[in-house]
Chains A and B, each alone.
Chain A
Amino acid sequence: MEKIVYNDQGLFHPGHVACGGCAEALSLRVILNTMGKNTIGVVSPSCTAVICGGYPMTSTSIPIFHTTLETAAAAAAGVRQALEARGEGDTQVLCLAGDGGTYDIGLQALSSAAERNEDILYVCFDNEGYMNTGGQKSSSTPTGARTGSTPTGKTTHKKNLVEILAAHRIPYIATASPSDLNDLRTKVERARDMRGMRVIIVLIPCLPGWGIADDSAVATARLAVETGLWPMVEIFDGRDWRLTHRRGTRSVAEYLKGQKRYNHLQTDDIEALGREVDEGWELLNARLGQGPAGGSGNPQHRAAANTG
């Protein structure tokens, strides 16, 4: 059994108010401790804001700047500029935002920062909805999923943020899952050691939002990977695509079955979702073949090339 390794430096504190069993708190623990103390956080209104904050207490040992939902990436870019002005270029800027703040409301700010190749690491905790406000749909909510504002199931598709970001040709994009913390740590390390705009999207099964048991966030994320629903990728410069986990072969139905938000789905709906997953992989497979090294470029090498 492969041991999960990361050095917990105590940068994330107990006593935070995430739901018991929250995979976002879990992922945050790994991310903060991998980034290290020389980091400034910029957080948009989201579960993360609640988890980090709770005035007058903080759960992080790094300073956090709480910004607005539209402006996370812009605010992070501003913090970066301020650090440069003060000669503190080695301090990392870590922007943390939800999917609502990333796929929807903050997309403009994100796109602009990406276009300018701002030197920030942007992490999107993708729980597929506006969750801290009670669970409304976002453009990341998958087809068919029930939310507070799609009571009969969402009729539109989940937005393909990875493709959008890749189109910006930024140095680094990755998807990650709390079911593989070694992979998450490796991706954060890789991103941390690069410069320019870097984005990591972490899938976060939301306990109340998805209707899953308190102890099952990791198992649900694992199923998302093993059914192929959540491809695990790394993309260098928007061109060089790599898979970090082979396509899982378990049935999509197995993943849907465990979540109350999909309770109402009929066989047809499930089959349609299965086809959507297949189509996603067709596109992804085409991308995997197109990189400069056939999609298998050495990430270490590329990380070095992108530094400075």
Chain B
Amino acid sequence: MDDLPSPLWTYLTSDNRLTGTWRSALPRHRDVPSPCRGACPVDGHIAEWIGQIRDGDMHKAWLTLVANNPFPAVIGRVCHHPCQSVCNRSELDETVSIRSLERHVGDHAIAQGWRLPAPGPATGRKVAIVGGGPAGLSAAWQLMRRGHAVTLFEASDAPGGLLRSGIPSYRLDKAVLDAEIARITQYGLDLRCGERISGRAGLEKLRKDFDAVYLATGASRPRHLPGLAPDSALARDGLAMDGAEFLRQTNAGETPPLGRHVVVIGGGSAAMDVARSARRLGHDVTILALEAEETLPAQRDEVIEAREEGISLVTGARVRAIEPAVTPRVAGLTLVCEKVRFIPGARRGEFTVEALADSAFDIDADAIVTAIGQDADPGIWDGLITADGALASTGDSWQTDLPGVFAGGDLASMDRFVSAAIGMGKEAAEAIDTYLNKAADHEAVNAPEVRFDEINTAYHPPAPRQIQENRPVEERLDSFIEVQLPLAAEQALAEAERCFSCGTCIYCDNCYVYCPDMAVIRLERGYEIRTDYCKGCGLCVAECPTGAVRMMAEVQ
């Protein structure tokens, strides 16, 4: 060959031609938030930990979970799962059962006895937390892992807040709660149960003894109806009771002494919990709610399960008067009721009602339990904390008007969910961390969430959602045994397979393999675009099964 005249032969490879100049936009690999994560109150990295389940690495999945939420087994049972309502997969067939998967990991971690990862180096700073509910415990864990020393003051004799005294065991087994709380208390938490922090002096002392204070005392002041308050005649006669107190007693294993037929007033989760707990103690139960059935604030599943358990629902109605029963032999009281139209107000919790003409009816009852909500009481520190209605007033990062004092959970928000409380605890801990250490850097997400049309569904064949079964009704009512059964291991794996991993690279190599220009290189973990050659065709983006590559403007 060498003696042929050289112009006949090519003597360069095309690597010398930089086709990158053809391009008008450049693909970028970047972790893009999934919609489920956007909706998750703890900012859970859902795509990531579901991917880790799929890869068979349960421990990693659990570590990813606890980084944002130390209660996966709890939240995997009781979360209102706003993530599932926005899951991209629901546009293909059905949402991914994110909550069931979270419980799967959480239960596995408890069974394995896994411990929380070691904290960072001690900072020498001390933080006091008031209130041991999900908000306070979440903040405690987030502060301790950042090396701060935490003392938690809890008024009652055990931490957990409403997880212990509100949510009944048939929805959240106390052993599960104890296991997840123990991991936090054994992490070096200085836990002081039976210490109620109140009054100006109580809070001032904490401010003096600690570098920062987090208030998370919840909302424990029950709202009452006229004639049914704890100091009413009916209450004194054992004919009326407050729902929070009823649940506190039943959660502590006590049996409130009420007559056979109990009417529960209220349409939220708490009312369902009272009713279903009463049912388990052998009562006949009727729920009376202002809202129409479709708009009950309780979750749909709870209403269905309450019905299955033989509870009667009277919706769109209210009590006008309570009278001694016409037929005392059957029941002690007669509730004189009427039908109403419920009109929600502009803010959560606000509403008006209009009575419907000629709609009067009666309900007989032996006892009435009121569960119409609870308010926070930011006044217990004698005005030290500025109130905004019945909430503690806080700024962008949960700081109160009092320097170094932060507040969250039910005390500072009407977002009355466990996940919201955990998320607020985390956010406050980050804010406290920044307050104590100005250099602290906290993850901020600003890329737009992955849309369904960014997912290449050719790589995601239709697959039915795995159903988490409930215990049959016959087995539910003679104890407080958990209703919801876990997913089987194979089910969990099949469900994890259904997740698109929106915005999270699964290292499938598609972008690398599909590039007609060899412009994607594989790194040890991840990929890089060779800008010299990438023509900007977007094929790597189109064939990415997860939406983790996006075309971006090159010059911002």
Q: How large is the interface on B (under 10, 10 to 19, 20 to 34, 35 or more residues)?
A: 35 or more
Question: Which one of B17, B458, B539, B543 lies within 8 Å of A15 (CB-CB)?
Answer: B17
Interface check A26, CB cutoff 8 A: yes
Interface check A21, CB cutoff 8 A: yes
Contact B539 A218 (CB under 8 A): yes
Task: State whether A20 and B517 are in contact (beta carbons under 8 Å apart), knowing that A15-B13, A15-B19, A57-B14 are contacts in the complex.
Answer: yes
Interface check B16, CB cutoff 8 A: yes
Taking CB atoms, residues of chain B closer than 8 Å to A23 are: 516
Contact A29 B518 (CB under 8 A): yes
Question: Which one of B18, B506, B516, B530 lies within 8 Å of A18 (CB-CB)?
Answer: B516
Interface check B459, CB cutoff 8 A: yes
Q: Which chain A residue has the least Cβ–Cβ distance from B13?
A: A13
Task: State whether A14 and B514 are in contact (beta carbons under 8 Å apart), knowing that A57-B10, A57-B14, A58-B10 are contacts in the complex.
Answer: no
Min Cβ gap B506→A in Å is 8
Interface check B536, CB cutoff 8 A: yes
Task: State whether A14 and B538 are in contact (beta carbons under 8 Å apart), knowing that A56-B11, A57-B14 are contacts in the complex.
Answer: no
Contact A3 B539 (CB under 8 A): no
Taking CB atoms, residues of chain B closer than 8 Å to A4 are: 508-510, 513-514
Min Cβ gap A255→B in Å is 14
Fill in one digit per residue for B521-547: 1 if any A CB lies within 8 Å of its CB, else 0: 000000000101101111101110100
Contact A57 B17 (CB under 8 A): yes
Contact B516 A21 (CB under 8 A): yes
Question: Which one of A20, A26, A59, A218 lies within 8 Å of B542 (CB-CB)?
Answer: A218
Q: How many Å lie between the Cα of A293 and that of B538 in the bound state? A: 44
Interface check B471, CB cutoff 8 A: no
Fill in one digit per residue for A9-27: 1 if any B CB lies within 8 Å of its CB, else 0: 0001111111111111110
Task: State whether A53 and B19 are in contact (beta carbons under 8 Å apart), knowing that A29-B518, A216-B542, A218-B543 are contacts in the complex.
Answer: no
Interface check B23, CB cutoff 8 A: yes
Q: Which chain A residue has the least Cβ–Cβ distance from B1?
A: A63
Contact B15 A56 (CB under 8 A): no
Min Cβ gap A75→B in Å is 16
Q: Which chain B residue has the least Cβ–Cβ distance from A59?
A: B14
Q: Which chain A residue has the least Cβ–Cβ distance from B6?
A: A56
Q: How many Å lie between the Cα of A3 and that of B532 in the bound state? A: 27
Contact B542 A14 (CB under 8 A): no
Taking CB atoms, residues of chain B closer than 8 Å to A181 are: 513-514
Task: State whether A15 and B533 are in contact (beta carbons under 8 Å apart), knowing that A23-B516, A25-B517, A219-B542 are contacts in the complex.
Answer: yes
Taking CB atoms, residues of chain B closer than 8 Å to A54 are: 14, 17
Contact A222 B538 (CB under 8 A): no
Min Cβ gap B510→A in Å is 7
Interface check B519, CB cutoff 8 A: yes
Fill in one digit per residue for A203-239: 1 if any B CB lies within 8 Å of its CB, else 0: 0000000000111111100100000000000000000
Contact B516 A17 (CB under 8 A): no
Q: Which chain B residue has the least Cβ–Cβ distance from A226?
A: B458
Interface check A85, CB cutoff 8 A: no
Fill in one digit per residue for B438-476: 1 if any A CB lies within 8 Å of its CB, else 0: 000000000000000000101110000000000000000
Contact A20 B14 (CB under 8 A): no
Min Cβ gap B183→A in Å is 34
Taking CB atoms, residues of chain B closer than 8 Å to A57 are: 10, 12-14, 16-17
Taking CB atoms, residues of chain B closer than 8 Å to A17 are: 14, 17, 19
Q: Which chain A residue has the least Cβ–Cβ distance from B459?
A: A1
Taking CB atoms, residues of chain A closer than 8 Å to B13 are: 13, 15, 57-59, 61
Could you name 19 residue pairs across A and B whose Cβ atoms are closer than 8 Å? A4-B509, A13-B14, A14-B517, A15-B14, A15-B18, A16-B19, A20-B19, A20-B536, A21-B537, A26-B514, A26-B515, A54-B14, A56-B11, A57-B16, A58-B13, A59-B14, A214-B538, A215-B538, A219-B456
Can you name 11 extra interface pairs (CB under 8 A) apart from A20-B516, A57-B16, A215-B538? A1-B459, A15-B17, A15-B18, A15-B19, A15-B533, A18-B517, A20-B23, A24-B516, A29-B518, A54-B17, A55-B10
Q: Which 10 A-B pairs have the closest CB atoms?
A: A21-B537, A20-B535, A215-B538, A15-B14, A20-B537, A25-B516, A15-B17, A14-B533, A59-B14, A26-B516
